[in-house]
Amino acid sequence: MKMCKVLAVVLALTMCFGMVSAYAVTPTDNDVVIAIEGNMSSMDPHNITDTSAISATRGMYEPLVGFDEDRNFIGILAETWDISDDGLTYTFHLRDGIKFHDGTDFNADAVVANFDRILDESNGLRRTPNWYVTAADGSSTPRVTVTAEDESTVTFVLNEGWSTFLNKLALITYISPAALEEYGNDIMYHPCGTGPFVCEEWSEGNFLKMIPNTDYWGDIPSVDSITIQEVPEAGTRTAMLQTGEADFIYPMTSDQEGAVAGDEDIVIDSVPSNIMRYVTLNADVEALSDVKVRQAMNYAIDKNAYIALMYNGDATIADSVFPPTISYYAPQTVYEYDLDKAKELMEEAGYADGFDLTIWCDNATQEIKGATFIQQQLAQIGINVEVVPYDVGSMDADIYVERDEATIQMWYVNWSASDFSADSTVRALLHSSMEPPVSANTAYYENNEFDKLLDDALASADPEVLADLYAQAQAVAWADCPWLFLAVDNVRSAHQTYLTGVHMDPDGRIVYEDAAIAE
C-alpha cells in the first residue's frame, strides 16, 4: 500500500451479495464513494493516458485552460491569454494567490518547471511525445519554448503552426515544483497539485481517498471526502450502489440494469460519448499483415449483436476511426456483417482454414465479455482466438516495449480524446511515430500518406483545409483496417438520488469537484 500522506485511513467495504435491502438508502455521512470498473494506473498527471487515472488526478491537479459544457476553452489556472497575429506565441496571465497543497506558490516559474520535466525525454513520460515534432530521419525537437516573463505571465512560443495547441495544453496539469524536486518521478505516490481535493491515501490497485483542500482558491468542496474505488466486477458495483456502500458507479452495464429497475432511489444516466470501441490488429503478425485478412475479420463481426449484448442497444456502429462527437468526423461505408464475404477474403488471402490468435483485454467483467464475443465471431471464419485478461499494470508492462519484444496480437480496448481534438483521436493510436513504447499504436500501423495527412493538419488553422485533410485520413485508415471497428457507445453511469454534482464527461472522465450529498 502506498501512502500519499502520513495520515492514512483504511477503507473497509463490506457487502452481503445475497441480501440487498429493499428499503430506500439514505446517506449516513458526508463521504462520497465512486466505484469504477477501470484501474487507476498512476497519480502522476504527466504520465497517464487512461481515463480512470485522469478522473482521479483531476480532483488534485488543474490545467491552465479547460473546457466549458459546450467544449469552448475557458481559463482555470490562467485567467486570460493572448495569441499573436501569426498564431505562434501564446501569452497566459495567471491567477494570483494560488498555492499548491504543500504551500508552494503557483506562478509562471512553476509552469516552466513542469514543462522542463515534460520536455525532458529521459523521464519517459506518456505526455511527452505530444510536445515533440518527429522529423523524417527520426530525430525529434520540442514544439514549444516556455518562458516566465514575470511572476504571473508565461509565454509559449511554438516552433511551427500547431492547430491543437490549446487542446493539448488542457491536458497538462501542474505539480508543485518543490514536490517534484523532492520526489522526482516518484511523484506518483505523493500527489501535490492546486486542486480542490488533497490526496489522503492511494492504495495502488485498490482505491484513492481525497479530502477537501481547505485553502483552495475556488469554492471549497462541500463533502468530507471522495473515495474512488476500483471494482472490476459489474455485479459488485451494482450491489454496492443498492446498499449505499457506493454513491455513484461507472459504468452501469446493460446486464445490470434489470437489477435496479424500478428502484426510485437510483438514477441511470446516459451521455453521448467520444469513446471508440475497437480491437487493434498487430500487422507484424504474419496473417494480420494482409489487408484482406483484416477486412475479412471486420466483415465477420456482427456489430448489431455486439451493441445489443454489450450496451443494450445504447450505442452506434463505428463508421470511422473518429467518433461523431469529434470535429472533422467523416463517416465511411460500414463493414456490414457478411460471413460469405469474410470467407471469400480469407480464401483469397490463403487462410481458408484460418489460424490462431490471442486477444488481450482488461480483467473487468465487461471487457472480458466483449473480447469473448469477438472470439466467438471470428471462430465462424476459422480464426481461433484465446482471450487473455490482464490487470492494467501488467498489460502496460507488456504493451509498452520495443517492437522486437512485442507479443501482443489483438487488443480489445477503447479510446477517448480527453482534449476533444481530431488529432488526439487518432495520432497516439495510428501514427507510425506512436508505436510502443512511445504510445499506443499497437497495430504497428505504418502508412506514409496517413502520417502526412495528420502532420499537415497539425500545421493548419483553416477549418476547410482541416476538414479535407482529416476526411482523407479517415478514408485511408478505414480502408487499411488496422482495427476491428466496433462501436461508439454512450457513457452510462448510475447514482443515488441524494447525490448531486457528479456526472460523466463524453470522454468517460468522472467530474466530481461539485459533489454534494442532500441532508
Residue 350 has pLDDT above 80, yes or no: yes
Indicate if 354 and 428 belong to the same structural domain.
yes
pLDDT of residue 12: 39
Indicate if 350 and 210 belong to the same structural domain.
no
CATH number at residue 75: 3.90.76.10
Q: The C-alpha cell of 219 is what?
A: 469554492
Residue 109 has pLDDT above 50, yes or no: yes
| Distance spanning both ends of the chain, measured CA to CA | 34
Pairing verdict, β 197-203 and 207-212? antiparallel
**Calpha distance 363→45 (Å, rounded):** 24
Q: CB of 285 within 8 A of CB of 482?
A: no
pLDDT of residue 450: 98
Q: What torsion do the CA atoms of 435, 436, 441, 447 make, to the nearest 10 degrees?
A: 10
Nearest to 237 by CA among 256, 219, 223: 256
**Calpha distance 52→48 (Å, rounded):** 9
Residue matched to cell numbers 487488443: 411
CATH number at residue 40: 3.40.190.10
pLDDT of residue 4: 52
Nearest to 330 by CA among 472, 431, 477: 472
Backbone CA torsion sign across 169, 173, 176, 182: negative
Indicate if 55 and 67 belong to the same structural domain.
no
What's the number of domains the chain is made of? 3
Residue matched to cell numbers 480524446: 417
* Domain end among 177, 205, 225: 177
> pTM for this one?
0.80
Do the domain assignments include residue 354?
A: yes
SS3 per residue for 422-483: HHHHHHHHHCHHHCCCCCCCCCCCCCHHHHHHHHHHHCCCCHHHHHHHHHHHHHHHHHHCCE
Indicate if 128 and 44 belong to the same structural domain.
no
Entry field: residues in the chain: 519
Indicate if 347 and 496 belong to the same structural domain.
no
Which of 17-26, 368-377, 418-427 holds the top average pLDDT?
368-377
Q: Which domain holds residue 439?
A: 275-489
Residue 5 has pLDDT above 60, yes or no: no
Provide φ and ψ at 92, rounded to 5°: -105, 135
SS3 per residue for 103-172: CCECCHHHHHHHHHHHCCHHHCCCCHHHHEEECCCCCEEECEEEEEEECCEEEEEECCCCCCHHHHHCCC
For residue 261, the one-letter residue type is A
Residue 9 has pLDDT above 70, yes or no: no
Q: CB of 57 within 8 A of CB of 191?
A: yes
pLDDT digits (tens, 9 = 90+) for 404-423: 999 999 999 999 888 888 99
**Residue 57 has what DSSP assignment?**
H
**Calpha distance 187→44 (Å, rounded):** 6
pLDDT digits (tens, 9 = 90+) for 213-272: 999 999 999 999 999 999 999 999 999 999 999 999 999 998 898 999 889 999 999 988
> What is the mean predicted confidence (pLDDT) over 106-125?
97
SS3 per residue for 316-382: EECCCCCCCCCCCCCCCCCCCCCHHHHHHHHHHCCCCCCEEEEEEEECCHHHHHHHHHHHHHHHHHC
Residue matched to cell numbers 493516458: 49
pLDDT digits (tens, 9 = 90+) for 57-103: 999 999 999 998 888 999 999 999 999 999 999 999 999 999 999 99
CATH number at residue 334: 3.10.105.10
pLDDT of residue 225: 98
pLDDT of residue 392: 75
Do the domain assignments include residue 184?
A: no
Split at pLDDT 50, 70, 90, the class of 3 is very low
Do the domain assignments include residue 17?
A: no
Indicate if 464 and 503 belong to the same structural domain.
no
Indicate if 284 and 365 belong to the same structural domain.
yes
Residue 11 has pLDDT above 70, yes or no: no
Do the domain assignments include residue 18?
A: no
pLDDT of residue 1: 43
Indicate if 449 and 501 belong to the same structural domain.
no
Percentage of the chain lying above the pLDDT 90 cut:
81
pLDDT of residue 24: 60
Indicate if 308 and 441 belong to the same structural domain.
yes
Cα separation values, 283 from 15, 303, 448, Å: 46, 23, 15
118-132, 359-373, 417-431, range with the lowest pLDDT: 417-431
Beta partners for residue 271, in sequence order: 491
Indicate if 68 and 165 belong to the same structural domain.
yes
Task: Quickly list DSSP for 233-257.
Answer: -HHHHHHHHHHTS-SEEE---GGGH
> What is the mean predicted confidence (pLDDT) over 486-515?
95
Indicate if 355 and 436 belong to the same structural domain.
yes
Chain CA centroid to CA 176, Å: 24
Percentage of the chain lying above the pLDDT 70 cut:
95
Indicate if 79 and 153 belong to the same structural domain.
yes
Do the domain assignments include residue 146?
A: yes
pLDDT digits (tens, 9 = 90+) for 267-303: 999 988 999 999 999 999 999 999 999 999 999 999 9
Nearest to 371 by CA among 394, 390, 346, 352: 390
Q: What is the mean pLDDT of the chain?
A: 92
Cα separation values, 90 from 106, 154, 350, 421, Å: 19, 8, 55, 19
